[in-house]
Amino acid sequence: MRTDWMARCLAALLCLAVCTGPAAALEPTGRAAYLMDPYSGRVFLEKDSQEPLPVASISKLMTLVLILEAVDRGELALTDLVTASPFAASKRGSRIWLEAGEQLPLGELVYAIAVGSANDAAVAVAEYMAGSEEQFVELMNQRAKELGLTASTFVNCTGLPEEGKPPNLMSARDAALLARHALQVPLLMDYVSTYEYTMRADSTKIPVLWNANKLLRRYYGVDGMKTGFTTEAGYCMVATAKRDGLRLIAVTLGHKTEEERESAARALLDYGFRKYQSLQLYPKGAAVGSLECPTGKPKTVDVVLPHDFYITVERGKEVDFVTVVKLDTELRPPIPQGQTVGTITVMYQDEVLGSSPLTVGQPVERLSFPGLVYRLAQALAQAIF
């Protein structure tokens, strides 16, 4: 497949109306930190972000991703009854006091993991989904590789320390990238944005769970994601917040107290919202070019954005940016509607302001042999006349 263009450059000048002045420089605290805009992919701040560190219950974010991706694929249902094994019921730390043999709906156990960080619930679901916690952990590490988490290693589904084993490790960057993916997992944000949840609502109503992410109630715009604590990991947090179209992911690891963790997350988010703003460059479905398909029907198809496309720019700063579109030249029909066929990237000098996949706006079928002959005849006729 050929395309009649491989890259399109669009120069424009952004003159931002709101000018608040430069934000004060921020020195992140804790052992590691990372601040990014998941829509554009821009990284605003980082500190020791590539170092693998213990992350405690932040590990459960991967557990939630795997569970809810399986639900989305239809392999699990939130109404499934999950039976707690003696091993799951024995888990210490944060828990919902499962008894061996007790059955609860999967959806309720997902709340226990997301809101209460319940270790017994996490193991029960891991066993239900994969047969054992060990097999589930294999899925966690496999998914980490697929998502490009290069400094992550999981040994269990909870983040609990285990005697004779190393802790679950992630870098601050990996935690942010996992959170970026988690934003796209159906239902996940509904769970991690919940502040209070009552277990066993139809019977004992015990326990009532409270989310350890206090920023859900204390910081405007925060709607997730996960906290963690062990003696080795310290107090850790992945937080995400959205204001005026700008979403931020803040990761802060290795704090001595819960108060320090919250203060560090606040400082990262404050810095991002003061200094940057998000601008919609194209709406969902906008055509940014076309793809020529010599053996396809139709021969030419629009290349469109699968979602609203934002770029993130510094407040009060004039930016000359360049838009580059690259398309896959190796594709052959049939091409289903929605298949990724390229990327769009907006650059300012050497910095990426935003990037998005591109898809075809309609399906492209493989042209029949008579159709190919007719198209060739038309091309020859045009060449002659």
* Residues annotated catalytic, as ranges: 57, 60, 117
Phi, psi of 3 (to 5 degrees): -125, 145
What Rg value do the Cα atoms of the chain yield, rounded? 24
Greatest CA separation for the chain: 85
Residues, the chain = 385
Count the neighbouring beta carbons within 10 Å of the beta carbon of residue 382.
8
Is residue 40 within 8 A of residue 153, CB to CB? The reply is no
- Angstrom CA distances, 180 to 72, 160, 176, 249, 268, stand at 18, 24, 6, 8, 16
Using CB atoms within 10 A of its CB, is residue 159 exposed (0-12), middle (13-18) or buried (19+)? buried
Full DSSP string of 92-145 = -SS-----TT-EEEHHHHHHHHHHH--HHHHHHHHHHHHSSHHHHHHHHHHHHH
Q: Coil, strand, or helix at residue 79? A: coil
Instruction: In whole angstroms, give the CA distance from residue 110 to residue 224.
Output: 15
The residue whose two tokens read 């809810």 is 68
Here the tokens at position 6 are 């491989």
Q: Helices 60-73 and 106-116, interaxial angle, to 10°?
A: 150
Containing 189, the helix (H) or strand (E) segment is helix 188-192
Instruction: In whole angstroms, give the CA distance from residue 112 to residue 67.
Output: 13
Here the tokens at position 212 are 């350890």
